[in-house]
Amino acid sequence: VSGGPGDATVPDVEGDERTAATRELRAAGFQVQVTTEASDDVASGIVISQDPRGATQAPVGSVVTLVVSTGPEEVAVPDVRQQGLDSARAELEAAGLALGGVSEEENGDFAPGTVIRQDPGPTVRVARGTSVSVVVAAAVSTIPVPNGIVGSNATDASAKLSAARCTGTCVTC
């Protein structure tokens, strides 16, 4: 009378790559079931845990369940455009992201300090903890138009603008 296939030692595959772990468990006579889980600490495709644990005895042919990392959890980048910098920072942090580099760009369409662009853009899925860089509006610098420009011929107007350290393209009248 046979007592069945008996027990065998379950290989310890925690920390191994999924394919290698599956191959090792099957070679030892076990079936493999895989579930996945996001992990900030374990790279994608690596075994986080197993049940039953490695180096324990289990019936040959029984199922060993592996939990395999999918890498850091991904989150959607919120749209922080048209918000002030403090509000944008708070929304990014609430989504599990960080405010990255902040640069300014002259823009007359938005109030100074308002986010006009972001990278990565809205709705892109990124790993939790990713930094999002923003460009905020800065006040448009203006140069006073020297007296006597209106009504001057092009040569005289250009000379007056040059003396004011301006070209005709930077002055709004």
> Which DSSP symbol is given to 150?
T
Tell me the pLDDT tens digit for each residue of 5-47. 799 999 999 999 999 999 999 999 999 999 999 998 999 999 9
- Lookup: tokens for 110: 């938005």
Longest dimension (CA), the chain: 115
With tokens 């420009």, the residue in question is 149
Asked if residues 7 and 60 have their Cβ atoms less than 8 Å apart, the reply is yes
- Lookup: tokens for 55: 């180096």
Amino acid 167: pLDDT: 52
Tell me the pLDDT tens digit for each residue of 125-168. 999 899 999 999 999 987 666 677 777 788 887 777 777 665 54
Alpha-carbon distance of 67 to 33, in angstroms, equals 9
Alpha-carbon distance of 74 to 173, in angstroms, equals 50
Confidence of residue 171 (pLDDT cuts 50, 70, 90): very low
Alpha-carbon distance of 4 to 6, in angstroms, equals 5
Tell me the pLDDT tens digit for each residue of 49-90. 999 999 999 999 999 999 999 999 999 999 999 999 999 999
50-59 burial string, b = 16+ CB within 10 Å, else e?
beeebeeebe
Q: How many CB atoms lie within 10 A of CB 28?
A: 15
What pTM was estimated for this model as a whole? 0.60
